[in-house]
Homo-oligomer: A and B are copies of this chain.
């Protein structure tokens, strides 16, 4: 049994590879992922993966895109019953923390992964990031404020800030960090930022 197996279509192998990769990341983290492990889990050899993905970075970007989609979905459904933009943004922050904690390794993989040197993120990937910022921006637009302000800038600043708290909290860089403390920090950041915006 060598070469030309056609047990599965390329599309099937692709899905098997992504599924196996996600499972490895969930269990052991991104650093435990390797082409050899993925291949052995799906019953193919490492070389096969390079017929389907450009390289490991390409594969990881596709996995991270799925995680970003899942996150987006969770965030959207979390604010379904929200009325005031303030409480919407707070809910978004809470849900972001909850998702990161619950899917720690998948979420971590998004930010642990770095493209080589000056390589830019591909546009199809960046779209997934922008959709997240957009959830906040939409709320800021309907924010009942007297002053004019740049909602895009504000959404980027606030949401990056929330993310920063999450990263440092979940990578042991904040003392005695736990989900409850992280939530308090996020609350503090959002509440005061929004109050300042008024």
Contacts and interface: CB of A to CB of B under 8 A. Distances in A.
Interface of A: 29, 31, 111-112, 114-115, 117, 120-121, 126, 129-130, 153-154, 156-158, 160-169, 171-175, 184-186, 188-189, 191-197
Number of this chain's copies in the complex: 2
A153 B196 contact: no
Given A112-B114, A121-B173, A129-B173, A158 B196 contact: no
| Interface of A, helix, strand, loop or mixed by DSSP | helix
A191 B185 contact: no
Contact of A168 (B163, B192, B193, B196): B163
Nearest to A173: B129
B154 A188 contact: yes
B173 A189 contact: no
A47 to B, nearest CB: 24
Given A160-B167, A160-B185, 12 more contacts: A112-B114, A121-B173, A126-B175, A154-B188, A156-B174, A160-B169, A161-B161, A161-B165, A164-B165, A189-B193, A195-B195, A195-B196
